[in-house]
């Protein structure tokens, strides 16, 4: 029996960024994630029954006839589709997902934030010097070049 859950995230980002964030959360899925800008991918439950909706991103489960099963996906596929307001809706069966993917919505939100910070740092020609976690929060240390007029003179 499938235990489908569906929920809308607050994330507004590109499909490519969402895919990269998903890989940050579960790196083993990198070669298994299937994407479609048009949102034309079907979703299959553990019995191989196709969902009536279509999705932009699918992580294949055990019964997907079109794609190789993603590592750790025991039962159904996980699907992500874009909503009219630009956020993402996730449909999944958490009982058949790996432990790394539990609370997938919250983990994706954190991974998207980290990727955006890294991108902003690169755009400004800054240098990321450290990345670490403390008390469940992720910290990124970035060195920013300072113009001569703002340097401290000793």
Q: What's the confidence (pLDDT) of residue 152?
A: 59
**Mean pLDDT across 95-99:** 86
CA distance 120 to 128: 11
pLDDT tens-digit readout, 32-77 = 999 999 999 999 988 888 988 999 999 999 888 999 999 999 889 9
In the chain the first and final C-alpha atoms are separated, in Å, by: 70
Farthest-apart Cα atoms in the chain, separation:
71
CA distance 141 to 32: 32
Neighbouring CB atoms inside 10 A of 15's CB total 16
Q: What's the confidence (pLDDT) of residue 42?
A: 93
**DSSP E strands: which ranges in 45-135?**
50-55, 57-59, 78-82, 88-92, 127-134
Neighbouring CB atoms inside 10 A of 99's CB total 7
pLDDT category, 146, cuts 50, 70, 90? Answer: low
């Amino acid at each position: 029996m499938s235990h489908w859950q569906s929920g809308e995230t607050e994330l507004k980002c590109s499909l490519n960024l969402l895919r990269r964030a998903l890989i940050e959360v579960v790196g083993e899925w990198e070669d298994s994630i299937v994407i479609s800008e048009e949102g034309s991918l079907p979703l299959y439950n553990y019995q191989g029954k196709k969902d009536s909706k279509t999705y932009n991103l699918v992580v294949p489960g055990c019964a997907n006839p079109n794609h190789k099963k993603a590592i750790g996906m025991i039962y159904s596929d996980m699907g992500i589709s874009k909503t009219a307001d630009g956020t993402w809706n996730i449909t999944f069966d958490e009982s058949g997902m790996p432990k790394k993917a539990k609370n997938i919505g919250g983990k994706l939100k954190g991974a998207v934030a980290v990727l955006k910070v890294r991108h902003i740092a690169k755009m400004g020609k800054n240098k990321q010097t450290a990345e670490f976690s403390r008390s469940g929060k992720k910290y990124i240390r970035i060195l920013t070049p300072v113009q001569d007029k703002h340097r401290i003179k000793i």
